[in-house]
Structure 1
Amino acid sequence: MKRLFGVTTAMVTPYDRNGDIDIVAMQKLTEFLIQKNVNCLYPCGTTGEMMLLSPEERETLAEIVVKTANKRVSVFIHAGAMTTKETVRLAQHAEKIGADGIGVVTPSFFSMTEKGILNFYKTVSSAVSKTFPVYVYVIPQCAVNDISPRLMQEIANNCPNIIGVKYSGFDMVKVKDYLRINDETFSVVLGLDRLFVPALTMGCDGVVSGCSCAIPEPFVKIYKLWQENNMKEAMEENKKAAEICEKLGNGSDMSIFKHVLLQRGLPVGPVRPPLLELSAEEWEQRYRYLKEYI
């Protein structure tokens, strides 16, 4: 089964002037990222404003990216939703349209027991083919629910097509323990893209990076240097990437990403309410630090 690796870019969702999905802009963004040599594409996740999209919109976005990518890079669709029924729908749709796999965030908002979380992933993973790759997406600071390494091992034991985890928390000891699952064959990708080289050094397969949607170049360069065993230059490039992540708000404000993409000739519209746009003054301050990378 295919795995996420290297630079997996979490994509923003483009909107037109009416606030609807901008199909052409999504096609252009997909092409832009492929030409920048990212390794995998990941639409409809946190960076893509997932909880502000309807199931129909998410299916449309998934279809656009899969069709435009046309197997040139891997495409994993984020299918996690507020209900199990909608998550299953989006997971099955992703497999039907030819995606390479899916990510599924933990149940959100409501605190769940370990049994409840296990049952959720058993339901979702069994709704798709046994050979269709599924990643658990752990982001406790947003979703409320966390997954211990012990529970993750139990999920992997019960769901053979759950092959990895995208971890966007801040506990690097937990990352170390995730890497031991299934005799160290479990795939771990880190959402903290500013720690790209440290993640690779620990044994992670790569990062899932929202910042790389706006400025992919340093992240692509880090992975190339890593593959060439050029650790010194990779670490230097990681410092640059970490600075970029900081100036981009470390992925906490998709409006910044969209402003940068506009500067790069890729108008993708505003963020969707209740998210707020950057003010002109806020953007001017950000641009002062980011312009040399755009």
Structure 2
Amino acid sequence: MRKPIFTGSGVAIVTPFKDDHVDYEKLEELIEFQIKEGTDCIIACGTTGEASTMPDEEHISVIKFTVEKVNKRVPVIAGAGSNDTRHAIKLSKEAEDVGADAVLSVTPYYNKTTQKGLYEHFKAIAESIKIPVVLYNVPSRTSLNINPDTMKALSEIENIVAVKECNLSQVGEIINLCGSDFTVYSGEDANVLPLLALGGKGVISVMANIIPKDTHDLVAKFMEGDIEGSRQIQLKTLNLIKALFIEVNPIPVKAAMNLMGMNVGKCRMPLVDMSEKNLEILRKAMQDYGLI
């Protein structure tokens, strides 16, 4: 029986920049903030961490730094996906070498592939490393879905242990097909409770960057049997989540963190600052939530 890498809330942590370089001092502050507030896992260099704008050396440096500063207090999952299988294998091996507990591997984007190609892509990655692989299924970004039958086949590979699933419509089918030792995490903050009700084990979250305790409690209350308490937190978060995705992630969450005085810097190009109109919507949602 394979155990979940984590149960609860994982933060898809932002990468703070200063003068377009990684601000490692700030990153350490963010890591400590997350652990103090109860976050159960840290996911470095994912979409929210702007991995797509990082050269490999910087990418692995951020993962290595995160692993060292976390120091085994919670698991660290390293974003290591690519639409080039050889590149994904390279990043995955390097993440393993610097001590990551698992890798998060997104479906190939732009060039895409077939379902057979998806199977072979992830199989090659899994066979290249010993640590667990978490699949990342996000059709809204990649225009490619891992179908449930393909997910079942992948789940039979020993170290493919979980999926960050953004397609809620197929979560129940995945859980039925793959069984209880394959873990499903929500990739959508607004759908955490429905996913938990179907048998998911947690969330890899954007909103946890600004509300880590509530994100943790949303899952913890459900797991403890306090369904109503979990429901109340999920409902409370919905307007804030809407504002956090009013523009392309991670533009709004970084703006939110800066409004809270966290000073994480700007996103890298081609991502740009929020429009004034949307920034005001975000500010109002944060005020209503009591964050500023």
Same structural fold, with TM-score higher than 0.5 when normalized by the shorter chain: yes
For residues 233 and 187 of structure 1, what CA distance do their matches in structure 2 show?
A: 23
For residues 228 and 4 of structure 2, what CA distance do their matches in structure 1 show?
A: 30
> SS of 1:135's equivalent?
strand
> SS of 2:179's equivalent?
helix
> SS of 1:154's equivalent?
helix
For residues 252 and 282 of structure 1, what CA distance do their matches in structure 2 show?
A: 11
- Mapping of 1:205-220 within 5 angstroms? 205-220=201-216
In the other structure, the counterpart of 1:224 is 220
> Which amino acid counterpart does residue 173 of structure 2 have in structure 1?
D
> SS of 1:46's equivalent?
coil
Please say if 1:192 is aligned against 2:188.
Answer: yes
> Which amino acid counterpart does residue 108 of structure 2 have in structure 1?
P
In the other structure, the counterpart of 1:11 is 13
> Which amino acid counterpart does residue 142 of structure 2 have in structure 1?
A
Change (3 A) 1:82 1:73: same
More divergent stretch after superposition (243-252 vs 47-56): 243-252
For residues 20 and 5 of structure 1, what CA distance do their matches in structure 2 show?
A: 33
Could you list the structure 1 runs, at least 4 aligned residues long, displaced by more than 6 angstroms after superposition.
none
The structure 2 residue matched to 1:162, chosen from 136, 160, 185, is 160
> SS of 2:17's equivalent?
coil
User: For the Cα contact (< 8 Å) 2:115–2:147, is it kept in 1?
Assistant: no
Please give the TM-score of this superposition, normalised by the length of structure 1.
0.92
What's the RMSD between the two structures over aligned residues? 1.7
What is the deviation of 1:184?
Answer: 3.0
For residues 4 and 50 of structure 1, what CA distance do their matches in structure 2 show?
A: 22
What is the deviation of 1:194?
Answer: 1.3
Cα deviation, 1:11-68, whole Å, max 9, x if unaligned, reads 1111112x11111111111111111111111111111122121111110110111111
> Which amino acid counterpart does residue 28 of structure 2 have in structure 1?
Q
The unaligned stretches of length 5 or more in structure 2 are none
In the other structure, the counterpart of 2:240 is 244
For residues 69 and 179 of structure 1, what CA distance do their matches in structure 2 show?
A: 31
In the other structure, the counterpart of 2:137 is 138
> Which amino acid counterpart does residue 7 of structure 1 have in structure 2?
S
Cα deviation, 1:98-133, whole Å, max 9, x if unaligned, reads 21111100111113112211111111101101xx11
For residues 285 and 118 of structure 1, what CA distance do their matches in structure 2 show?
A: 42
> SS of 1:8's equivalent?
strand
In the other structure, the counterpart of 1:150 is 149
Cα deviation, 1:80-110, whole Å, max 9, x if unaligned, reads 0232222111111221122111110011111
> SS of 1:146's equivalent?
coil
What is the deviation of 1:2?
Answer: 4.8
The structure 2 residue matched to 1:279, chosen from 251, 265, 275, is 275
> Which amino acid counterpart does residue 167 of structure 1 have in structure 2?
E
For residues 142 and 229 of structure 1, what CA distance do their matches in structure 2 show?
A: 34
For residues 220 and 46 of structure 2, what CA distance do their matches in structure 1 show?
A: 25
- Mapping of 1:43-58 within 5 angstroms? 43-58=44-59
More divergent stretch after superposition (283-292 vs 37-46): 283-292
In the other structure, the counterpart of 1:293 is 290
In the other structure, the counterpart of 1:73 is 74
> SS of 2:18's equivalent?
coil
For residues 227 and 182 of structure 1, what CA distance do their matches in structure 2 show?
A: 21
Count of residue pairs brought into register by the alignment? 288
For residues 246 and 7 of structure 2, what CA distance do their matches in structure 1 show?
A: 20
For residues 251 and 101 of structure 1, what CA distance do their matches in structure 2 show?
A: 29
User: For the Cα contact (< 8 Å) 1:180–1:186, is it kept in 2?
Assistant: no
The unaligned stretches of length 5 or more in structure 1 are none
For residues 57 and 145 of structure 1, what CA distance do their matches in structure 2 show?
A: 28
For residues 111 and 247 of structure 1, what CA distance do their matches in structure 2 show?
A: 30
Change (3 A) 1:84 1:111: closer
User: For the Cα contact (< 8 Å) 2:4–2:161, is it kept in 1?
Assistant: no
What is the deviation of 1:284?
Answer: 2.9
For residues 90 and 111 of structure 1, what CA distance do their matches in structure 2 show?
A: 19
> Which amino acid counterpart does residue 149 of structure 1 have in structure 2?
P
